[in-house]
Amino acid sequence: MLFLVRMDVKVPTHLSAAEFDAIKAREKTYAEQLQREGAWRHLWRVVGEYANYSVFDVPSNDELHRLLSGLPLFPFMTVHVTPLAKHPSAIQ
Protein backbone atom coordinates (compact mmCIF):
# COMPACT_ATOMS: atom_id res chain seq x y z
CA MET A 1 0.00 0.00 0.00
CA LEU A 2 1.26 3.45 -0.88
CA PHE A 3 0.89 6.41 1.46
CA LEU A 4 1.73 10.07 0.96
CA VAL A 5 2.91 11.46 4.28
CA ARG A 6 3.59 15.06 5.21
CA MET A 7 5.71 15.52 8.31
CA ASP A 8 6.08 18.95 9.92
CA VAL A 9 8.63 19.26 12.73
CA LYS A 10 8.28 21.80 15.53
CA VAL A 11 11.73 22.28 17.01
CA PRO A 12 11.51 21.65 20.76
CA THR A 13 12.63 24.67 22.77
CA HIS A 14 13.31 22.64 25.91
CA LEU A 15 16.20 20.68 24.35
CA SER A 16 19.74 21.93 24.02
CA ALA A 17 21.25 22.18 20.55
CA ALA A 18 23.44 19.15 21.31
CA GLU A 19 20.45 17.06 22.41
CA PHE A 20 18.49 18.03 19.31
CA ASP A 21 21.48 17.28 17.06
CA ALA A 22 21.69 13.79 18.61
CA ILE A 23 17.99 13.18 17.90
CA LYS A 24 18.44 14.35 14.29
CA ALA A 25 21.41 12.00 13.84
CA ARG A 26 19.29 9.04 15.03
CA GLU A 27 16.48 10.20 12.73
CA LYS A 28 18.81 10.24 9.72
CA THR A 29 20.07 6.72 10.46
CA TYR A 30 16.54 5.36 10.86
CA ALA A 31 15.23 7.12 7.73
CA GLU A 32 18.13 5.82 5.64
CA GLN A 33 17.52 2.28 6.92
CA LEU A 34 13.83 2.44 5.94
CA GLN A 35 14.78 3.76 2.50
CA ARG A 36 17.30 0.95 1.94
CA GLU A 37 14.64 -1.58 2.99
CA GLY A 38 12.17 -0.11 0.45
CA ALA A 39 9.50 1.01 2.91
CA TRP A 40 10.35 4.71 2.53
CA ARG A 41 10.22 5.09 -1.26
CA HIS A 42 10.56 8.87 -1.68
CA LEU A 43 11.60 11.76 0.54
CA TRP A 44 11.32 15.43 -0.44
CA ARG A 45 12.01 18.55 1.61
CA VAL A 46 9.39 21.32 1.60
CA VAL A 47 11.26 24.48 0.62
CA GLY A 48 11.45 27.04 3.40
CA GLU A 49 9.89 24.80 6.05
CA TYR A 50 11.07 22.15 8.49
CA ALA A 51 8.83 19.65 6.74
CA ASN A 52 8.87 16.89 4.16
CA TYR A 53 6.62 14.93 1.85
CA SER A 54 7.34 11.23 1.71
CA VAL A 55 5.92 8.18 0.00
CA PHE A 56 5.85 4.95 1.99
CA ASP A 57 5.19 1.50 0.57
CA VAL A 58 4.07 -0.74 3.42
CA PRO A 59 1.54 -3.57 3.77
CA SER A 60 -0.84 -1.91 6.22
CA ASN A 61 -1.94 1.16 8.16
CA ASP A 62 -0.61 -0.46 11.31
CA GLU A 63 2.84 -0.96 9.76
CA LEU A 64 2.97 2.66 8.63
CA HIS A 65 2.02 3.80 12.13
CA ARG A 66 4.73 1.58 13.62
CA LEU A 67 7.39 3.02 11.30
CA LEU A 68 6.32 6.63 11.79
CA SER A 69 6.06 6.37 15.56
CA GLY A 70 9.57 4.89 15.58
CA LEU A 71 11.02 8.11 14.16
CA PRO A 72 13.11 9.85 16.84
CA LEU A 73 11.55 13.20 15.84
CA PHE A 74 7.99 11.78 15.97
CA PRO A 75 7.19 13.42 19.35
CA PHE A 76 7.88 16.81 17.72
CA MET A 77 5.93 16.19 14.49
CA THR A 78 2.53 16.86 13.05
CA VAL A 79 1.87 14.06 10.55
CA HIS A 80 -0.75 13.93 7.80
CA VAL A 81 -1.28 10.63 5.97
CA THR A 82 -3.04 10.19 2.62
CA PRO A 83 -3.56 6.64 1.30
CA LEU A 84 -2.87 6.42 -2.43
CA ALA A 85 -4.47 4.33 -5.16
CA LYS A 86 -3.48 3.90 -8.80
CA HIS A 87 -5.13 6.47 -11.05
CA PRO A 88 -6.88 4.94 -14.09
CA SER A 89 -5.20 7.44 -16.43
CA ALA A 90 -1.67 6.78 -15.12
CA ILE A 91 0.56 5.20 -17.78
CA GLN A 92 2.90 3.58 -15.27
Average pLDDT, the chain: 97
pLDDT per position as a tens digit, 9-47: 998 899 999 999 999 999 999 999 999 999 999 999 999
Rounded CA separation 77/10 (Å): 6
pLDDT attached to residue 6: 98
The structural domains of the chain, with segments of one domain joined by +, span: 2-84
What is 2-84's CATH topology?
Alpha-Beta Plaits (3.30.70)
Q: pTM for the complete prediction?
A: 0.92
Rounded CA separation 15/73 (Å): 12
Rounded CA separation 39/25 (Å): 20
Contacts of 2 (CB under 8 A, 6+ apart): 41, 55, 56, 57, 83, 84, 85
- Alpha carbons within 13 angstroms on the beta-carbon side of residue 33 total 10
